[in-house]
Amino acid sequence: MTTQIVYSEEFNKHNNPGHPENAQRLNAMINEINKSAIKSKLDFIKPEILPEKILYETHSEWMIENIKNLSLEEGGWIDLDTYVCQSDYETARLAADGMLQACNNVLNQDAENAFALVRPPGHHATINHSMGFCLFNNIAIAANQITKKGKKILIYDFDVHHGNGTQEIFYNRNDVLYQSTHLSPHYPGTGNIDEIGKDEGKGYTMNAPLYYGKGDKAVSKILDEIFLPVAKQFKPDIILFSAGYDSHHMDTLGGLKLTANFYGKIIEKYQKIQPKIVLTLEGGYNLNWIGKCLISQLGQMINQKIKIKDSTAENSNIDEIIAKLKNKLKKYWEI
Ligand SMILES: [Zn+2]
């Protein structure tokens, strides 16, 4: 069995050279794969354009029509951060299908694990609003389809920004468990400890908001003491990751201090719970580092660990957040 990369050059049609979320990001990552020793171990496949009706199962008609109309014209801006290019209605559906295909291939055992190397990203897109560089919520669209097959899904979002869209979409559900570590205070302002889900979904959303400067040790402790023990009890059929490399210590839009090697470590930790894993690209804006973070994860996925020269100092004291989070969640999980 192989590790699949779902990728298309068509994603570069979504581009604004003056914007941090531009076509250079995927180019930098593909270049890093091409010069690495692991390229021959990866199976590249192409996405297709997601059927419109699947979009409607996650997003509102108003939101979908808005992107469709801007895309049919000359493109434009949804908000101060989020641009739409001509033909983005196709490009954004190509990205969503990329993640859905990756998930289906892993569930059907056509691939051992997979990475949807797609743009535009998705985790800020809510039911009603495209925002934060995101048009459609790729990970949520895929998760919504898989749960129809009766599968339980764990999503871990390690982007430096909180995945407000993904959280909102699954906030009252107990078949999708959402875990996030993110910088706080920071965009988009959500992801507090007391946001734990509602109704049936109570206890199935968990947020670890981290102050500036927290890094590998702090995140590792949150995973080991809370997120992984909960994951074990939840017994997911598949684990999905919102892979945002803007939590790396050199990122221009970040403030956390993860190192490149730690991204591989995250995969290693979650693989022990469920080896069926699929990642989708979210943020990450330092073109010198995003490819290295990706290679660290792909190395772990093909079982060929790659050591990258990278270190930084961090403020690792996380006891207060852990205590508060345990207190919030202990009613629902043994932690
Ligand atoms: Zn981000």
Q: Is the pLDDT of residue 313 over 90?
A: yes
pTM for this prediction:
0.98
What is the maximum alpha-carbon separation in the chain? 53
Question: Residue 281's pLDDT is what?
Answer: 99
Burial class (CB in 10 A: 0-12, 13-18, 19+), 35: exposed
| Distance of CA 102 from the midpoint of ligand 1 (Å) | 21
Q: Is the pLDDT of residue 169 over 90?
A: yes
Q: Predicted confidence band at 38 (pLDDT cuts at 50, 70, 90)?
A: very high
Q: Is the pLDDT of residue 54 over 90?
A: yes
Q: What is the mean pLDDT of the chain?
A: 98
Question: Residue 223's pLDDT is what?
Answer: 98
Q: Predicted confidence band at 33 (pLDDT cuts at 50, 70, 90)?
A: very high
Q: Is the pLDDT of residue 138 over 90?
A: yes
| Distance of CA 86 from the midpoint of ligand 1 (Å) | 24
Rounded to an integer, the average pLDDT of 1-15 is 97
pLDDT for 235-284, tens place per residue?
A: 999 999 999 999 999 999 999 999 999 999 999 999 999 999 999 999 99
Burial class (CB in 10 A: 0-12, 13-18, 19+), 80: exposed
Q: Is the pLDDT of residue 188 over 90?
A: yes
Q: Predicted confidence band at 65 (pLDDT cuts at 50, 70, 90)?
A: very high
Residue ranges covered by each domain of the chain? 3-329
Residue for token digits 């790659």? 306
Check if the beta carbon of residue 101 is closer than 8 Å to that of residue 266: no
Question: Residue 180's pLDDT is what?
Answer: 99
- The one catalytic residue in 124, 129, 182, 186 is 124
Q: Which two tokens stand for residue 142?
A: 């895929």
| CATH code of domain 3-329 | 3.40.800.20
Q: Is residue 249 among the annotated active site residues? A: no
| Distance of CA 308 from the midpoint of ligand 1 (Å) | 22
Question: Residue 1's pLDDT is what?
Answer: 81
| Distance of CA 160 from the midpoint of ligand 1 (Å) | 5
| Distance of CA 323 from the midpoint of ligand 1 (Å) | 26
Q: 283-314: string of b/e by CB count within 10 Å (b at 16+)?
A: bbbbbebbbbbbbbbbbbbbeeebebebeeeb
Q: Is the pLDDT of residue 219 over 90?
A: yes
CA distances from 212 to 160, 163, 184, 250, 254 (A): 10, 18, 7, 13, 9
Rounded to an integer, the average pLDDT of 73-81 is 95
Question: Residue 156's pLDDT is what?
Answer: 99
Dist. CA 60–CA 67, nearest whole Å: 11
